[in-house]
Structure 1
Amino acid sequence: MTKATKLLTALPQPQRAHLMTLAREVSFPEDTRIFEAGGTADRFWVIRSGAVSLDQQVTTLQRVTVASLGSGDLLGWSWLFPPHKWDFGAVAFSPVRAHEFQAAAVLALCDEDPQLGMTLVRSVAEILAHRLETTRGKLLEQYSLHRRGM
């Protein structure tokens, strides 16, 4: 398994500095629902401190955590792909501080600077590939435990 890509450190310094001009510092108290699956994905965050759980509603009463994110991790990628709806929900597992980016402003910046846009898309793709690999491993582990009756 490869090490997870961190969005901001994946960008060369000039591109990172350009992107950071669009950042806004935000914080979320512990147990705050940051977004819900199916909601409009019009922004994303890079976590500075704290932990966020990504979850999926499996029944009306049960949510399953599918990933845990921490410092340096990208929170939210659905802003980049139509239909721009969140695929999962996210909740602050602890107090969280993050850089928030408005999708429209970032996409406009990517149009102005195609090299930044390509680097950003590649970085998000690497992050998604890593998360898919991690999730697949967790599912196989759960299936194995279930098959053994644990």
Structure 2
Amino acid sequence: MRFFVLTMITALCLGCVAQPKPEAALFQRIGGAPMLTRISNQTLDIVSKDPRTSRSFEGVKMKTLKESLSNFLCVKTGGACVYEGETMKKSHADLHITTAEFEVMVDVLRERLDANGVGTKEKNELLKILAPMKRDVVSN
């Protein structure tokens, strides 16, 4: 009986050791709300002034857009935020965004992630999450 009890305790302990620690959500690993806000603000500041993309931002309340993008990214990365904006399809429907414009936005986002020290793994995870949205954003 004693051997059986020791065997069971050993098996239970080995089971505990074998369990990998769950990885933190992308939201935490990327730097949380402060980092997402910084990246959103920087990206939108650049693309709203870039002659290749600026037409899409004419008449837009940038403060509101920056907050909305930060909340959107927070939700998409697993943060405890609320995004109350439109769907990507609805919010971009009348803008006639081209593939070239979309690619400029992605390039600037990638550059801002790098410039702010976001790791390659986290950057690639975020881009993978956002990539399917291209079909809802690009209309030309």
TM-score under structure 2 normalisation? 0.34
More helix by share: 2
TM-score under structure 1 normalisation? 0.32
